[in-house]
């Protein structure tokens, strides 16, 4: 029986709750006003950082994630601050080199994180080792995390995700020095009785505290949390009611009342919590565009078969909406379990959820494995660690266009071992902009969007005031319009547009603050008006040899130059879409006549990327 003293509640309002419901868009200015009051509630910890917040602040909000953390630390002085860390992938989507891992953990510790919740999408020690050691070196609390997943039946049973699997993971993580163990149920798949059994059995073999993190998605979370408490779980995660339920955490308020007078009573002030909820209600209307509204149900019973976590579901919807294929949502949800099985049953958590999700979208839109992101290719070759199951041999052969499995190089050691140090190069690339280690890490994590953010932050592309004005503009893009608003390339003020007059493309730059026309390019003849069709290569093409963007994203770089001869299928450009890098091939043989997009520029579906004649 656990004592009152050891039972606690963690609040996730400032991180996972809005990551799950609002695509991680909650701004610091809307959290700051209640941070001190939240600090007084008595939470065991507050999760305020990490996960997708680091990416979202730099990519979408023009907000410095390090500054956000320092401000939280100033405002929240009683309650330990926790962050979610994706093992060797930190707060990004790929494995980083060990020197970046060490530096990031150290800076997060210095700037204010007390508890590091460290997980790996594949529950692979190889990907946790370095980050775990770094947390210990900084004398911070290491919470080692088991991603909860199910094989197919939805229960804790079957060939991979059974009770023995979880006990084995927990024991291994405890041996790695964990100060606590977290069960991370990102898709709300953990049923109440499985939770009771899992926590009860873990308690027999694990000496450190056990925390439960679950999502409401399927509708089981409140029951699951209660059964876990009865089984002796030490800490559970909840959030304020306005950002609770749906794909987020269970709400704290009903739990507080449920536990009143029991040995687990957290003795939180309900009226204070309700007042904090009223505040959240007052600021949330401006984020309404990020919420999924068409459904009547607050829960999604189908998640029990498609196993899609909250953040992933909201991302899929916005991605499909951007491509104009929201009607394909059901097909994508059906493809996900198939793709997941073929990829060796990875748990659907970042970055695996993005990989499986975007692969399923590609499979539905372009045909199965016709377009495969560079990340999925690297996963199959072992760069993300060891999958819990086996990757389907025929998928491997299709992806690598090889009949012979032995010809496909796979990695047989900790991926971090074979990555060259990255920090010095990042410092060198930034030497004219900044030498601040926190800035260097932003760039090391996200070379393209991070650089964009840092140039604005350091006034190279816009002043501080301009940046603020910029960041408050709505981010929606009208994909139906021929004149397409592009992300700023030269200054954060200057907007560049692709304007078509009949079939001639002009690139037009405008400064919206004074409505001045900056430049108009020479016309480029295109076949914009002609019929286009999705091709087997996974991009849109027509007979005139134009490469068009198959979906919205950012052009990271071209792999060819104007004048260069290419063969059909040769790599032409790298498009970052759905957080994955996709190499786009030449639609035909010929000579590159024009490359109309600036690297770093945002494109929408159908934007012209290359003309080959
Ligand atoms: Co979560």
DSSP letters spanning 260-297: TTSTT-----HHHHHHHHHHHHHHGGGGGGGS--S-S-
* Ligand 1 center–CA 188 separation, angstroms: 9
Q: Kindly report, residue by residue over 288-336, the tens digit of the pLDDT.
A: 888 866 778 888 877 776 667 656 777 788 888 888 889 999 999 889 9
Per-chain mean pLDDT for the chain:
86
* Ligand 1 center–CA 184 separation, angstroms: 7
* Ligand 1 center–CA 213 separation, angstroms: 7
Alpha helices in 138-162 (DSSP H): none
Q: Are 524 and 594 in contact (CB under 8 A)?
A: yes
> How many Cβ atoms are within 10 Å of 267's Cβ, its own excluded?
9
* Ligand 1 center–CA 126 separation, angstroms: 22
* Ligand 1 center–CA 20 separation, angstroms: 7
571 token code pair: 């790599």
* Ligand 1 center–CA 493 separation, angstroms: 36
Q: What is the pLDDT of residue 461?
A: 81
What 3-state class would DSSP assign to 574? strand
Pick the residue with more confidence: 535 or 524? 524
* Ligand 1 center–CA 141 separation, angstroms: 19
Q: Kindly report, residue by residue over 322-377, the tens digit of the pLDDT.
A: 888 899 999 998 899 899 999 999 988 777 888 999 999 999 988 999 889 999 99
> How many Cβ atoms are within 10 Å of 106's Cβ, its own excluded?
17
Q: Give CA–CA dist 530/528, Å, rounded.
A: 6
Q: What is the pLDDT of residue 181?
A: 97
**CA nearest to 451, candidates 482, 430, 467, 435:** 430
Predicted TM-score (pTM) of the model is: 0.77
Q: Does residue 475 have a pLDDT over 50?
A: no
Q: Are 580 and 358 in contact (CB under 8 A)?
A: yes
For residue 102, the surrounding DSSP H or E stretch is: helix 98-111
**CA nearest to 601, candidates 538, 539, 555, 535:** 555
DSSP assigned state of 208:
S
Task: Give rounded-to-5 percent helix, strand, coil for the chain.
Answer: 40, 15, 40
Pick the residue with more confidence: 597 or 304? 597
What 3-state class would DSSP assign to 246? coil
Q: Does residue 133 have a pLDDT over 80?
A: yes
Q: What is the pLDDT of residue 194?
A: 98
Q: What is the pLDDT of residue 529?
A: 42
Q: What is the pLDDT of residue 2?
A: 34
**CA nearest to 551, candidates 368, 339, 321:** 321
* Ligand 1 center–CA 107 separation, angstroms: 23
Exposed/middle/buried for residue 310 (C-beta within 10 Å: 0-12, 13-18, 19+):
buried
Q: Are 470 and 461 in contact (CB under 8 A)?
A: no
Q: Does residue 533 have a pLDDT over 60?
A: no
- pLDDT band at residue 535 using 50, 70 and 90 as cut-offs: very low
Q: What is the pLDDT of residue 572?
A: 94
Q: Which domains does the chain have, with CATH numbers?
A: 8-291 (3.20.20.70), 303-413 (1.10.472.90), 422-486 (no CATH), 495-612 (2.40.50.100)
- pLDDT band at residue 484 using 50, 70 and 90 as cut-offs: very low
- pLDDT band at residue 406 using 50, 70 and 90 as cut-offs: low
Mean of pLDDT values over 234-245: 97
Q: Are 87 and 118 in contact (CB under 8 A)?
A: yes
- pLDDT band at residue 575 using 50, 70 and 90 as cut-offs: very high
Q: Kindly report, residue by residue over 5-16, the tens digit of the pLDDT.
A: 479 999 999 999
Mean of pLDDT values over 188-195: 96
């Amino acid at each position: 029986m656990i004592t009152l003293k050891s039972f606690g509640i963690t609040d996730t309002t400032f991180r996972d709750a809005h990551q799950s419901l609002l695509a991680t868009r909650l701004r610091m200015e809307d959290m700051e006003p209640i941070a001190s009051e939240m600090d007084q509630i008595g939470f065991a910890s507050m999760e305020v950082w990490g996960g997708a917040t680091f990416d979202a602040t730099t990519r979408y909000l023009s907000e410095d994630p390090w500054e956000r953390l320092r401000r939280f630390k100033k405002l929240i002085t009683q309650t330990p601050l926790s962050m979610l860390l994706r093992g060797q992938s930190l707060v990004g989507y790929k494995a980083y080199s060990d020197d970046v891992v060490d530096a990031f953990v150290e800076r997060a510790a210095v700037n204010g994180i007390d508890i590091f919740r460290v997980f790996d999408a594949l529950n692979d020690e190889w990907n946790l080792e370095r980050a775990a050691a770094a947390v210990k070196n900084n004398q911070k609390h290491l919470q080692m995390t088991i991603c909860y997943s199910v094989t197919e039946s939805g229960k804790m049973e079957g060939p991979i995700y059974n009770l023995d699997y979880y006990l084995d993971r927990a024991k291994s993580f405890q041996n790695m020095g964990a100060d606590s163990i977290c069960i991370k149920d990102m898709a709300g798949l953990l049923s109440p009785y499985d939770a009771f059994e899992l926590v009860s059995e873990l308690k027999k073999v694990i000496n450190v505290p056990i925390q439960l993190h679950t999502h409401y998605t399927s509708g089981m979370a409140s029951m699951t949390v209660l059964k876990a408490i009865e089984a002796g779980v030490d800490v559970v995660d909840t959030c304020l009611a306005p950002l609770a339920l749906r794909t987020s955490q269970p709400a704290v308020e009903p739990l507080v009342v449920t536990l009143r007078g029991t040995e687990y009573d957290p003795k939180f002030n309900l009226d204070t919590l309700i007042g904090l909820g009223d505040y959240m209600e007052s600021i949330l209307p401006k984020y309404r565009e990020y919420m999924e509204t068409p459904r009547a149900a607050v829960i999604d019973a189908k998640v029990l078969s498609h196993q899609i976590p909250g953040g992933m579901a909201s991302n899929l919807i916005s991605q499909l909406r951007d491509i104009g294929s929201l009607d394909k949502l059901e097909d994508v949800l059906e493809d996900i379990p198939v793709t997941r099985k073929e990829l060796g049953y990875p748990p659907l958590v970042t970055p695996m959820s993005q990989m499986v999700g975007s692969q399923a979208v590609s499979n539905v839109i372009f045909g199965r494995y016709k377009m495969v992101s560079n990340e999925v290719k690297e996963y199959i070759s072992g760069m993300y660690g060891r999958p819990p199951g086996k990757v389907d041999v025929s998928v491997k052969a299709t992806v690598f266009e090889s009949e012979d499995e032995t010809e496909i190089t796979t990695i047989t050691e900790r991926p971090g071992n074979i990555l060259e140090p990255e920090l010095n190069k990042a410092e060198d690339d930034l030497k004219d902009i900044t030498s601040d280690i926190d800035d260097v890490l932003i760039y090391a994590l996200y070379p393209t969007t991070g650089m964009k953010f840092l140039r604005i932050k350091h006034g190279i592309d816009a002043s501080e005031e301009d940046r603020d004005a910029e960041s408050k503009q709505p981010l929606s893009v009208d994909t139906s319009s021929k004149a397409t608003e592009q992300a700023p390339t030269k200054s954060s003020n200057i907007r560049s547009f692709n304007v078509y007059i009949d079939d001639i493309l002009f690139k037009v730059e405008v400064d919206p603050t004074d409505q001045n026309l900056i430049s108009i390019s020479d016309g480029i003849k295109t076949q914009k008006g002609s019929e286009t069709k999705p091709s087997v290569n996974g991009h849109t093409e027509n007979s005139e040899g134009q490469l068009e963007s198959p979906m919205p994203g950012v052009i990271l770089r071209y792999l060819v130059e104007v004048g260069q001869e290419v063969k059909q299928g040769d790599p032409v450009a790298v498009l970052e879409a759905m957080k994955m890098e996709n190499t786009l091939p030449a639609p035909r043989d010929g000579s590159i006549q024009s490359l109309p997009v600036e690297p770093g520029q945002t494109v929408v579906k159908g934007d012209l990327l290359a003309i080959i004649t």
